[in-house]
Chains A and B, each alone.
Chain A
């Protein structure tokens, strides 16, 4: 069964067309990540799914039921917000139980679920504290706990980690991945961090300007991007794009090469002026210019290269991508 089906969903705010003809499916138990640059409509799409905004047109189905006119609380969803949005006047326990009390669940059920969720999230000793007495990471876990106790058909996460620092973000990311395994629930996760997208997702939906650019598993999108936008968006450092005539002469296509596919070679096709070097220990990122075009090479290991050096870089033509003028992928020959 599908957990969520969107069919030609559109959303306009007055004259602003924010979501354009979005159609996609989320299978049961699947972890789907929406990525895209800021302002592309990720949050709006999530809010349409949650029922916080009405779709201007199109169908939203959750677990097979048409929910276009169902209020958020009846859609069988739970949402975790970027700003946590905990109720300040309720304790952690109060925050987690409010929705269940609202649904008039029996006391024993409520106790059970809170106990289970707080054990899962390590919140047992904080249950009687108020949100203002918790650290950022703890607040985020409470927000997740509040979603878990509802046992929803579909979890919605809107950039849940963006207020956490790097170390905590990584831990919480792993926690969310574990949670997904334990609960086997369907989850939709919004982020603009492509590391989160690549590591968490079963399926990634790349959005741009309110349109779906491509849907697929992380490796599908990485290895086989449908267009220049997706190719440039996934992968870090991002893909290098060079005009075709620089490489093959008289070609108007754009050639894309991943930074890790470039290597030092005395016979390499590219002669580049190094402008900056990032030594990461395990890898070395070399930022250089080929004529006016900036490229990044990710070299394995440590290299004694300095800004101002001239290097020759080679690549395997089989590992390049070609895009036409409109940015659509075309065959490389």
Chain B
């Protein structure tokens, strides 16, 4: 084993640094969480104090539950995020496989074209997208959001996944071909499991911006029954008064599902089953 790793001082320093960073990263989340359980006065008097018998209050959560259809927003956000991620991963992986595995005319050009989207923010096309959605009657549907987010996520997904798929052993795919597996089986059963860490990376990268996005929900799907959580929470933020209890409670609840998704994906990041396949 590496000597630097076993040295107790280095271990301590390393863990110290990591714990320090974790604290910094988690601090805002922590502040949001504790304040969501406090009365309005207590939030402003001592923002960093833990809620005690005096300052404890669920008023924020009550407001959130009463006002607006919070669970519907929640469900909308979930559908949009999971749906978009699924499509990004599916189409991204398929395109990446085609680009990395098959030799065809225009392969290079196609790859560059697909990667171009990384450099051009999709919001530039907002007006055109809105016109298109109006024309197709998709305005105020969740599909509008799912389609836009899928388009937004694909370039990076194709770029990252094709890089990883190039590294999947040719021999393995060829062994599958000789054993009579179809190209689809090779893709789904041999290649995808081997690029799972990359898929998880892509998923994590795409998940948070989609979940947090305010822009497209506001423009493409502002109707009550298709509002996402982020958009729905805006009702508590007024121009002159902001209901901080409600905002903090809504945020606390919004963090939870991303956290769960993140845990699911990050487990996939763990490698291990790939070793021993080749060599």
Give the residue name and chain of the B residue nearest to A53 (CB): B174
Question: Cβ of B276 and Cβ of A139 under 8 Å apart?
Answer: yes
Question: Cβ of B174 and Cβ of A84 under 8 Å apart?
Answer: no
Question: Cβ of B178 and Cβ of A132 under 8 Å apart?
Answer: no
Question: Cβ of B177 and Cβ of A52 under 8 Å apart?
Answer: yes
Taking the complex as formed, is A98 at the interface, i.e. its CB lies under 8 A from any CB of chain B?
yes
Taking the complex as formed, is A161 at the interface, i.e. its CB lies under 8 A from any CB of chain B?
no
Question: Cβ of A99 and Cβ of B278 under 8 Å apart?
Answer: no
Taking the complex as formed, is B194 at the interface, i.e. its CB lies under 8 A from any CB of chain A?
yes
B266-278 interface code vs A (CB 8 A; 1 in, 0 out): 0000001111111
Question: Cβ of B274 and Cβ of A88 under 8 Å apart?
Answer: yes
Bound CA–CA A45/B174 (angstroms) = 15
User: Which of A69-77, A107-115, A169-177, A213-221 participates in binding chain B?
Assistant: A69-77
Interface range on chain B (Cβ under 8 Å from partner): 20 to 34
Are A85 and B194 CB-contacts (below 8 A) given A99-B179, A99-B180, A131-B276? no
Bound CA–CA A66/B118 (angstroms) = 48
Q: Cβ of B174: which chain A residues have Cβ within 8 Å of it?
A: 47, 50, 52, 72, 79, 81, 85
Partner of B277, one of A74, A85, A98: A85
Question: Cβ of B169 and Cβ of A85 under 8 Å apart?
Answer: yes
Taking the complex as formed, is A255 at the interface, i.e. its CB lies under 8 A from any CB of chain B?
no
B251-276 interface code vs A (CB 8 A; 1 in, 0 out): 00000000000000000000011111
Interface range on chain A (Cβ under 8 Å from partner): 20 to 34
Q: Cβ of A163: which chain B residues have Cβ within 8 Å of it?
A: 279
Q: State the Cβ distance, B228 to closest chain A Cβ, in Å.
A: 37
Q: Cβ of A146: which chain B residues have Cβ within 8 Å of it?
A: 175, 179
Partner of B171, one of A83, A103, A130: A83
Taking the complex as formed, is A198 at the interface, i.e. its CB lies under 8 A from any CB of chain B?
no
Bound CA–CA A18/B170 (angstroms) = 19
A51-78 interface code vs B (CB 8 A; 1 in, 0 out): 0100000000000000000011110011
Question: Cβ of B178 and Cβ of A77 under 8 Å apart?
Answer: yes
Taking the complex as formed, is B33 at the interface, i.e. its CB lies under 8 A from any CB of chain A?
no
Q: Cβ of A88: which chain B residues have Cβ within 8 Å of it?
A: 193-194, 273-277
Q: Cβ of B177: which chain A residues have Cβ within 8 Å of it?
A: 52, 71-73
Bound CA–CA A79/B190 (angstroms) = 18
Question: Cβ of B278 and Cβ of A132 under 8 Å apart?
Answer: no
Question: Cβ of B178 and Cβ of A86 under 8 Å apart?
Answer: no
Question: Cβ of B180 and Cβ of A86 under 8 Å apart?
Answer: no
Most buried by A among B174, B193, B194, B273: B174
Taking the complex as formed, is A229 at the interface, i.e. its CB lies under 8 A from any CB of chain B?
no
Partner of B178, one of A72, A83, A130: A72
Question: Cβ of B172 and Cβ of A87 under 8 Å apart?
Answer: yes
Q: State the Cβ distance, A149 to closest chain B Cβ, in Å.
A: 10
Taking the complex as formed, is B79 at the interface, i.e. its CB lies under 8 A from any CB of chain A?
no
Q: Cβ of A52: which chain B residues have Cβ within 8 Å of it?
A: 174, 177-178
Bound CA–CA A77/B178 (angstroms) = 8
4 additional contacts (CB under 8 A) given A88-B194, A132-B272 = A52-B177, A84-B171, A87-B175, A132-B276
Q: Which 8 A-B pairs have the closest CB atoms?
A: A132-B276, A73-B180, A88-B277, A99-B179, A85-B171, A102-B180, A81-B171, A83-B278
14 chain-A/chain-B pairs, Cβ below 8 angstroms: A47-B174, A52-B174, A52-B178, A74-B180, A81-B175, A83-B279, A84-B171, A85-B175, A87-B175, A88-B275, A99-B178, A132-B276, A136-B279, A146-B175
